[in-house]
Amino acid sequence: MDESTERAPTAGGAERPGSGGGSAILRYWPVLVVVVVVAAVVAIATLGGDDGDDDELTAGPDTTEQVDDDAGDDETVGDGGDEPEDASDAPDCDPETGRIMVPSLFAPNCVPLWPDDADNGGATHQGVTADEIVVAIYDAEASDLVREAQDATGVTTPEEAEEAENRLKMVGAFNDLFETYGREVRVEVFIPSGEGGDEAAARADAIRIAEELEAFAVIGGPGAGAINAYVNELVDRDVMCFCTASQPIENYIEWSPYVWSGLMASTQGYVHRADFIADRLAGSPAQYAGDPEMHDTDRVFGLVYYETPDGAYQAGVDFFEERLAEDGVELTTSIAFMVDGNREEQAQSIMTRMNSDGVTSVILATDPLMPQQLTNQATNQDYFPEWIVVGASGTDNSNLARLYDQDQWENAFGLSYLLPPIDPGYEQQEGNIISWHLGEELSNYPDYFSWLRFFTGVHLAGPELTPESFRDGMFSFEPVSGHQTQFGTSYGEDLWDWPDYLGADDVTLIFWDREAPDPRTDAGEVGMYRYLDEARRYLPGEVGETTTPFFEQEGTVIMFDERPEGDRPPRYPRRSGRDG
């Protein structure tokens, strides 16, 4: 195999960054996506909350984590009585980017430095005072299914005390570096009272977070069967939630401005999926099927998707079918599987139906473990269709794809939400905002992306912090796009047909290479996704722009040796806070 097809070097041979420790965040981002999604959408009976299971509720003094913000105690952030400066005059503002000087392409826009003695409005909302913002962490043990996904992807987690210490350091760093208008974030750890799929327990927990902890916001929530009940109680009590995974856009609009997430709404994902199928696949033979007899047959599409007892994902599927119909494409078969059902039995029934209906191309909007059952059952039935990957819940993760029947999966291709891997040694030296600020790499960064999103919104909201001002701040965030190894990210009303409360916007194209060795390890593991067109990423409406064929190695990427030059975060001297 040509080395150029294994790795994609970047231009210029630039020196590898070495600013303050490595980046466990970046190394494990695809894994984090998988684990978060598994925690949110998989089997109710086996899955707890964002992390898992059940325990007794403990709230109060023993669960409060006081953030030690020593670095900021001696800082002077403004002259007493002066009006705030212009944003561009702030000492941490990079005039070339218009963002604060932290090493991230996702740094928030510059804002004026807040004077120490300025009036921030005090108690502007529940959980907000003149001095602090209360944020709850929904903390539950990982379920068996989450552990299975972690094992498959090689994730290890530190002990509880170490994770709590890491969280404090991380939140302390954000308190130092982002504008919080005289306030500091205080973390309250909340242990849920019931199993992840227990609606009654989820409602009770949401009420306690709102009324006992009096939180402004909460990060995390229960499993798929109870998450909407939990969110509804929080929204009714004006508490923000950084939770949920890829629900239909209608839900986020209804919950506005309280619910925020990093993954696309299912509706947004189905925009990409429908465009990909209509522009690249429909009306053409199923040339990538494992059954040669299908190669001369125009594609017949079938959809398999996960669903919850309350039908949370049906609206997204309905939108998908309507969007396809607009382009003259029909789903011959559409079958949901219940996340709390017997997976082997459901997979057998689903594949029998797909086979009997003459489906040549199976679209997988599933969780990351269901394809193992589906591909096994397809082989048992001597049924070898195309498998169309659509970025659903880690099905586009190479570690997990090795679990699937490889005689089936060698015919898998489609689109991915995830980023291509980068050499772990490079990422180890590249660092991240937190390691750069602290001068050390942490063993993990609990809920890092939710915290980054939260502090970005606070930073941009201004002193009168409310859910509405938070929304307005997020909608002002300067979008990021056009990269190979960084997500396109925006909020607001400019890119999508709906107000956008979710971060990620773009996708890339992939196919499975069962013989490709994993260049990240010496363990001899084989099977990797290849990224087409040097891992180009596509915003809504763009995925049909390329005609590059699948299953040809030229121009593909398995792993980058180093981050492409245009994707690298800016480099700045280490800062202790906003003013120095």
Contacts of 285 (CB under 8 A, 6+ apart): 294, 295, 296, 297, 298, 299
Using a pLDDT cut of 70, give the percent of the chain over it: 82
Task: Give the residue among 192, 189, 209 at the shortest CA–CA distance from 57.
Answer: 192
Q: Are 106 and 480 in contact (CB under 8 A)?
A: yes
The SS3 call for residue 529 is: strand
Tell me 518's DSSP state.
-
Residue 83 has pLDDT above 60, yes or no: no
Domain with CATH 3.40.50.2300 in the chain: 267-421+506-566
pLDDT band at 428 (very low <50, low <70, confident <90, very high): confident
Cα separations (Å) of 568 from 37, 351, 565?
A: 27, 44, 6
For the ranges 81-90, 296-305, 457-466, which has the lowest average pLDDT? 81-90
158 C-beta neighbours (distance < 10 Å), count = 14
E strands of 472-550, at which residues?
508-517, 526-531
Both tokens assigned to 520: 């990240």
Q: How far is CA 436 from the centre of its chain?
A: 22
For the ranges 17-21, 283-287, 374-378, which has the lowest average pLDDT? 17-21
Residue 51 has pLDDT above 90, yes or no: no
Q: Say if strands 7-8 and 559-560 run parallel, antiparallel, or are unpaired.
A: parallel
pLDDT band at 153 (very low <50, low <70, confident <90, very high): low
CATH class of 54-263+431-475: alpha beta
Angle at 505 between CA 236 and CA 108, to 5 degrees: 75
Phi, psi of 502 (to 5 degrees): -130, 145
| Choice between 57 and 181, residue whose per-residue pLDDT is larger | 181
In angstroms, the CA 371 to CA 366 distance is 7
Both tokens assigned to 252: 């986020």
Look at residue 546 in the predicted model and tell me its pLDDT: 87
Both tokens assigned to 141: 């043990």
Instruction: Let me know if domain 267-421+506-566 sits in CATH 3.20.20.10.
Output: no
For residues 413-428, average pLDDT? 92
In angstroms, the CA 223 to CA 45 distance is 9
Residue 18 has pLDDT above 60, yes or no: no
Residue 489 has pLDDT above 70, yes or no: yes
pLDDT band at 22 (very low <50, low <70, confident <90, very high): very low
Q: pLDDT, tens digit, for every residue of 318-377?
A: 999 999 999 999 999 999 998 777 899 999 999 999 999 999 999 999 999 999 999 999
476 C-beta neighbours (distance < 10 Å), count = 15
Task: Give the residue among 440, 550, 452 at the shortest CA–CA distance from 21.
Answer: 440
Phi, psi of 88 (to 5 degrees): -70, -15
Residue 43 has pLDDT above 80, yes or no: no
What residues are paired with 517 via a beta bridge?
526
Residue 503 has pLDDT above 70, yes or no: yes
For the ranges 5-9, 241-245, 303-307, 563-567, which has the lowest average pLDDT? 5-9
* Exposure b/e, 410-440, CB count within 10 A at least 16 = b: bbbbbbbbbbbbbbbebbbbbbbbbbbbbee
Look at residue 196 in the predicted model and tell me its pLDDT: 66
Look at residue 154 in the predicted model and tell me its pLDDT: 63
pLDDT band at 92 (very low <50, low <70, confident <90, very high): very high
Look at residue 224 in the predicted model and tell me its pLDDT: 75
The per-residue DSSP string of 411-458 comes to TEEEEESSPPPB-HHHHHHH--HHHHHHTS--S--TTHHHHHHHHHHH
Cα separations (Å) of 481 from 345, 460, 503?
A: 42, 20, 11
pLDDT band at 316 (very low <50, low <70, confident <90, very high): confident
For residues 552-566, average pLDDT? 96
In angstroms, the CA 374 to CA 404 distance is 8
pLDDT band at 37 (very low <50, low <70, confident <90, very high): very low
Q: Are 130 and 180 in contact (CB under 8 A)?
A: no
Look at residue 149 in the predicted model and tell me its pLDDT: 61
Both tokens assigned to 314: 């049906």
Cα separations (Å) of 485 from 36, 86, 179, 481?
A: 20, 33, 28, 10
Query: Is the peptide bond prior to 570 cis by the omega test (within 30 degrees of 0)?
Result: no
In angstroms, the CA 43 to CA 37 distance is 11
What percentage of the chain's residues is helix, strand, coil (to nearest 5)?
35, 15, 50
Query: Is the peptide bond prior to 257 cis by the omega test (within 30 degrees of 0)?
Result: yes
Look at residue 143 in the predicted model and tell me its pLDDT: 55
Mean pLDDT of the chain: 85
Using a pLDDT cut of 90, give the percent of the chain over it: 72
For the ranges 55-69, 103-117, 135-149, 261-275, which has the lowest average pLDDT? 55-69
Q: Are 559 and 425 in contact (CB under 8 A)?
A: no
Contacts of 130 (CB under 8 A, 6+ apart): 120, 121, 122, 123, 182, 183
Both tokens assigned to 353: 């139906």
Task: Locate all alpha helices (DSSP H) within 10-113, ordered by sequence.
Answer: 24-27, 29-41, 70-73
For residues 245-263, average pLDDT? 94
Both tokens assigned to 417: 């939400």
Task: Give the residue among 16, 33, 143, 21 at the shortest CA–CA distance from 449.
Answer: 33
Look at residue 209 in the predicted model and tell me its pLDDT: 98
For residues 416-435, average pLDDT? 91
